[in-house]
Amino acid sequence: MQDEPSPIELTKSVADFLRNDISPLITGHQAFKLRVAINILDLVTRQLTREEDSDAAEVGRLRALLGIDGSVTELNRVLADRIAKGELDLATPGLADHLWATTMDKLAVDQPNYASYRRELGRGW
């Protein structure tokens, strides 16, 4: 077991430092690049915070859908392959719900302000 503070806390402290102390000092193209850098750190923080739980839930759904066990990467490969072969489609019970849940979990990390995501979130998840 590694010591604390956790990676989440460490990454967040760097992002906050850049946001609060450095960005007021920088202008022009470098300011744009700095915003991108801060966005990356924020994304990493969100992923570190959420990934364990969302992956576990995803694996649970994939096992039920596919009837096999494996890592989240392996199971996603199998799912992609079965959809490509036409063995699973939107008529398959649980597939649409699974894809929605998985996609919502991705947006929560990648682009939580994306308008389509906000709209769907407002419908209740």
Footprint of another protein on this chain (CB under 8 A)?
A: 33, 36-37, 39-40, 43, 76-77, 79-81, 83-84, 86, 89-90, 96, 99-100, 102-104, 106-107, 110-111, 114-117, 119-120, 123
Q: How far is the CB of 44 from another protein (least distance, A)?
A: 11
Q: How far is CA 75 from the centre of its chain?
A: 17
Q: How far is the CB of 20 from another protein (least distance, A)?
A: 20
Q: Which helix (H) or strand (E) holds 65?
A: helix 28-66
Nearest residue to 97 (alpha-carbon basis) of 60, 45, 51, 44: 60
- Taking the least distance from each CB to another protein, the nearer of 25 and 84 is 84
- Integer Cα distance of 125 and 117 in angstroms: 11
- Taking the least distance from each CB to another protein, the nearer of 52 and 110 is 110
Q: Which residue has the tokens 């389509």?
A: 116
